[in-house]
Amino acid sequence: MKKIFLCLVILIFTFHLYPQTDVDKILEEGKKAYMNGDYEKAIEFFNQAINLIRNKAELIEAHLSLALTYFTVNQIENCKKEIRRVFELNPNHSIDPDFYSPKFVLLFESVRKEFTKTPPKKVEPEKGEKPPDIGITKPAFFLEERFERESLKNLSFIENGKWKVEQGVLHFDGGDKLGDAVAFIPRNFSNFSVSVDTSRISGPYSSQGIIFRADSNFKNGYLFQIYTGRPGMFSIWKIVNGEFQALSHWENSNLVKVGFEKWNKIAVEARGEILALYINGTQVAKISDGTYRSGRIGLWTKGKAGGGGEVLFDNLLVKGE
């Protein structure tokens, strides 16, 4: 136990070499919870930190911290899942046996063997709930995209991976790219409603969402995202010159269908400075912010090196002016 705790302290310390205000605070809370024996709370904090980290090396260390915590409380299957996510980020990653307990090292190496033999399983998932009854009644712009044709003419992209239409859905594969990946409609909207089905089918990072009132480089605007790991969560961010500012920090929500191969329908309605956010047909937040009054609408996720993987989008519906 002492050796495991020492490993966790070392891992947490590495994050402070590159300060990230929100991440540092969350990781510090996770460390305190672990020290106090509140492992459930520590797991929650480490999961939140993983969803905020944008550096590959730090993301690997965060998953290791979470794996160690699960190992400490004998949640071996969850521990193995986090180790797999380490290998998805870096298949050649190794750990120092001088700092980790022999049992953890054995488990780590056994997962490595499983990982190299078993490719991710892809299953045709069910679609999400019907969208809420929102939207502009007489829109100047209307788009209903079901991705039934292999054409992406309605969208422009910030790649960081590969976007393509296949089997009736928009498919994103993060490959080994780093950073935000966005598929957006190349025109500006002021008042609008937008909804889309989304599902993650592989990769360690379990967050995707809708950007809106954004510029074409995604350096300014808003982001509504859901986290489909455990527990399910959502958040709303304002991006100012590339910096993310929380309008509504991560909140747990049982409306989010967690895990891979699960479809969630997310939606946004913006009228003036009022922003309403929905998950699977239920409003989860209503925020007043008038920083941005117009901009692009798009679908957001991350490249694999930034913690992403493979994500599906379908049934994109936009009504706007």
pLDDT averaged per 10 residues in sequence order, the chain, 321 residues: 51 46 76 81 86 77 87 91 84 81 88 65 50 58 79 72 81 68 88 92 76 92 89 91 89 89 92 95 94 94 60 90 82
> Do 201 and 71 fall into the same domain?
no
pLDDT of residue 122: 42
Residue 153 lies in a domain: yes
What CA–CA distance (Å, rounded) separates 54 from 302? 9
> Do 181 and 294 fall into the same domain?
yes
> Do 258 and 151 fall into the same domain?
yes
Residue 107 lies in a domain: yes
pLDDT of residue 179: 66
Domain end marker among 82, 117, 152? 117
> Do 173 and 241 fall into the same domain?
yes
> Do 206 and 285 fall into the same domain?
yes
CATH code of the domain in which 169 resides: 2.60.120.560
pLDDT of residue 60: 84
> Do 104 and 247 fall into the same domain?
no
> Do 87 and 223 fall into the same domain?
no
Task: Find the domain containing 106 and state its range.
Answer: 2-117
> Do 194 and 299 fall into the same domain?
yes
pLDDT of residue 13: 47
- Which pTM value belongs to this model? 0.61
> Do 155 and 293 fall into the same domain?
yes
Domain count for the chain = 2
> Do 221 and 312 fall into the same domain?
yes
What is 56-78 written as a DSSP string? HHHHHHHHHHHHHHHHHTT-HHH
Domain end marker among 117, 151, 180? 117
CATH code of the domain in which 74 resides: 1.25.40.10
